[in-house]
Copies of this chain bind each other. A is one copy, B any other.
Amino acid sequence: MMKLHEHQAKGVFADAGIPTPSSQLATSVEEAVDAADSIGYPVAIKAQVHVGGRGKAGGIKLVEDEAEARSAADAILGMDLKGLTVDSVLVEEAVDFTDELYVGVTMDRSAGKPVAMVSARGGVDIEEVAAEAPEAIVREHIDPAFGMHPYQARQAAFDAGLGEVATDVARVLSTLYDLWAAKDATSIEVNPLMVTADNEIIAADAVMNVDDDALFRHDDLEAMEDEAADDDLERKANQYGFDYVRLSGNVGIIGNGAGLVMTTLDIVDYYGGAPANFLDIGGGAKAERVANALDMVFSDENVDSIVFNIFGGITRGDEVAKGINEALGQFETIPKPVTVRLAGTNASEGREILNTELVTVEETLESAVQDAVENAEGTN
């Protein structure tokens, strides 16, 4: 799931005709101050990182003059927000509002169809509203065969009690749905959608997440992706074509198949270890992919030991073993201890081939994980 930054999503929304505040992206304090001066005070200075609750974490500041703008930009740029460094801020016109609404579209996976949502209680985390007062969110399921009918958008807005602004909000919701469908979004939302004293509406924030599997037909969005990636290793995984998630532990995990890799993580935890990552190299086990995967995990400073867990299905275990030997042979020294567990077709043949000078070989998933956990503990 590719997340667009706020400023990217706002660009997409504005192009589709949704009103947004004037804003400029800035990557330095000077740029931010210049932007604030040209927009006119008060402005909001907003960290562009993919972190929920930016505001509470100090990533959004409202400033009244140049001096405040300078100090806010200085504080936010370079700030660490939940592990991510802030490289850019959006400097944005501060909007006077009387109400904050929520509008969004997402996939309801249990229904197998999209759902549009409207709430008069925007401006706070909508999932909190959903938990506390589910009736405050109006949901309208959309038939993917026909798309969202205009009446559905109106019905959602009127049912949410939006009265005078209902038809304008309905128009925004229709546009959001059209974007959702046209851009292969997985979720899209405006929170808050601000209502001004004279009943103008304006999108004060913008969220848009796009289906990775559909990026092939959206060159424009794919071009935003590099910019949007937040983590060096995740960017690298993208290049290698791995499914990769960084975690906080020190046991590196490589395996084939999402369910099996997740299970390996869980078993690391079960034996008292802490997984450093999820890395699925997918089907097959060509030497190059094995080498790339090891390269990634070796280069993660947090990793102290690695468990390499392959269940050879159609792929034969002896071929996997050759791939591992070849891949590890490319390293002059093995920087971190690697425990390999090979199972499935021709697994015993594979285990015999594996170069035990480079890796430790274990027969079962459980023993391999235990070995890797012990290795990781030993380094501390």
A residues near B (Cβ < 8 Å) are 145-146
Contact = CB atoms under 8 A, between A and B. Distances in A.
Q: Which label, helix, strand, loop or mixed, suits the secondary structure of the A interface?
A: loop
A192 B257 CA distance: 52
A146 B146 CA distance: 8
A146 to B, nearest CB: 6
Nearest to A147: B145
**Which 2 residue pairs spanning A and B have beta carbons closest together?**
A145-B145, A145-B146
Nearest to A143: B145
Contacts of A146: 145
A145 B146 CA distance: 6
Copies of this subunit: 2
2 contacts: A145-B145, A145-B146
A114 to B, nearest CB: 15
A178 to B, nearest CB: 15
A146 B144 CA distance: 9
A214 B244 CA distance: 50
A217 to B, nearest CB: 14
A233 to B, nearest CB: 38
Contacts of A145: 145-146
A275 to B, nearest CB: 43
A144 to B, nearest CB: 9
A181 to B, nearest CB: 13
Nearest to A146: B145
A148 to B, nearest CB: 14
A174 to B, nearest CB: 15
Nearest to A145: B145
A145 B145 CA distance: 5
A19 to B, nearest CB: 23
A176 B145 CA distance: 21
A142 to B, nearest CB: 13
A147 to B, nearest CB: 10
A7 to B, nearest CB: 32
A300 B145 CA distance: 50
A150 to B, nearest CB: 14
A145 B142 CA distance: 13
